[in-house]
Amino acid sequence: MKIKTEIINKILVVTCEGSRFDASFAQDFVKSMQYYIQKGCLDIVLDLSSVEFVDSTGLGAIVRCLKELNGRGHLVLCGVNVMVLSLFKMTHLDNVFIQAADRSEAFRRLDSEKKKRVRSPSPLPASSRSKGFDEALLASLSMEGDGPVRGRRSRERRKYQRIDHKQILNEDIIFNCINQVTGQESATIVLDISAGGVLMVSHSSCSVGDELILEGRIGTNFKFRERAVIRNCRQGKYGIEFVKPSEKTTSFLQQLTGAVMMGNI
């Protein structure tokens, strides 16, 4: 088994040439895919038309590729034969992979997935939401960051454009918030985030001007702890500005959000 790669309309098309996608090929496949993904090929069509046998290691290699994309792009499988499809079903992966009958359908699927992604970031499954928050309150909030990233507003006063956290992470960002004025400690959910601050929702009542310590994790690895001040408050949502954030935090958040600078303020 070997793979042939081509770029068609900025989409990486990977064709498996050979009939067995098994343990003898899986490692090479993963290495190649990691290489292309690291190079920025995030929309991928994997053509399995000639593949008649996939084992769990081959399956694992495709899953690894999907995980490597980490929601930044899409992987569409095409030409999956009925036997391989039966394996996907047996391992409950038939609903995990995006599948298409052939290449042209795969391109269409990719296109529609990309449009979906731009229109609305996928809602989190209810089970992955944090407990203890009033779902009705969360649902009723119409947030500034809802919908696609918009251009700069004419009267924008922030240094950085805030990004809805769902556009950059699959999971909620939850901070522990210590109010230095009242001494209260509570959990807060971040709605939007930028290198300059966050829009968050909290059950504990705070006032504009309160100084806070926000701490928690962003994603799996980044530990966050910054001083912040409440700049505005509306319907349980708080607009928070970081106070002298560390360079590490600023740089991390700039990378995470794409750092859209709003101009000199």
Partner 1 sequence: MPFAAREIFSGSSIVFRIPARLTDTRLLGLSVHSLFANLGFDKIQTYHLELAIVEAANNIVTHSYQEEEEKYISMKFSTTDDRVTCTFVDSGRFVNFLKDNGLSDICTASIRSLPPSSRGICIICDVMDEVSYRRAGDKNVLTLVKYLS
Please report whether residue 130 would count as binding partner 1 according to CB under 8 A.
no
What is the crossing angle of helices 56-69 and 23-38, to 10°?
10
Answer whether 160's CB lies under 8 Å from 196's CB: yes
With CB under 8 A as the contact rule, the residue among 7, 8, 35, 70 that binds partner 1 is 70
Cβ-based nearer residue to partner 1, 70 or 182: 70
Nearest to 178 by CA among 225, 138, 219, 131: 225
Please report whether residue 66 would count as binding partner 1 according to CB under 8 A.
yes
Please report whether residue 22 would count as binding partner 1 according to CB under 8 A.
yes
With CB under 8 A as the contact rule, the residue among 127, 142, 154, 221 that binds partner 1 is 127
φ/ψ of 31, rounded to 5, equals -60, -45
CA–CA distance, 216 with 174 (Å, rounded to integer):
7
Tokens read off for 105:
């359908």
Give, in degrees to the nearest 5, the angle at Cα 113 between 111 and 115.
70
Please report whether residue 144 would count as binding partner 1 according to CB under 8 A.
no
CA–CA distance, 95 with 73 (Å, rounded to integer):
17
Please report whether residue 34 would count as binding partner 1 according to CB under 8 A.
no
With CB under 8 A as the contact rule, the residue among 5, 18, 49, 71 that binds partner 1 is 71
Q: Provide Rg for the chain, Cα atoms.
A: 22
Pairing of β 43-47 and β 74-78: parallel
Please report whether residue 57 would count as binding partner 1 according to CB under 8 A.
yes
φ/ψ of 212, rounded to 5, equals -130, 155
CA–CA distance, 188 with 201 (Å, rounded to integer):
6
Site string (193-232) toward partner 1, x via CB under 8 A: ----------------------------------------
Please report whether residue 138 would count as binding partner 1 according to CB under 8 A.
no
With CB under 8 A as the contact rule, the residue among 3, 50, 53, 216 that binds partner 1 is 53
Please report whether residue 20 would count as binding partner 1 according to CB under 8 A.
yes
Give how many residues touch partner 1 by CB under 8 A.
30
Contact footprint for partner 1 (CB under 8 A):
20, 22-24, 53, 55-57, 59-61, 63-64, 66-67, 70-71, 82-83, 86-87, 90-92, 96, 125, 127-128, 170-171
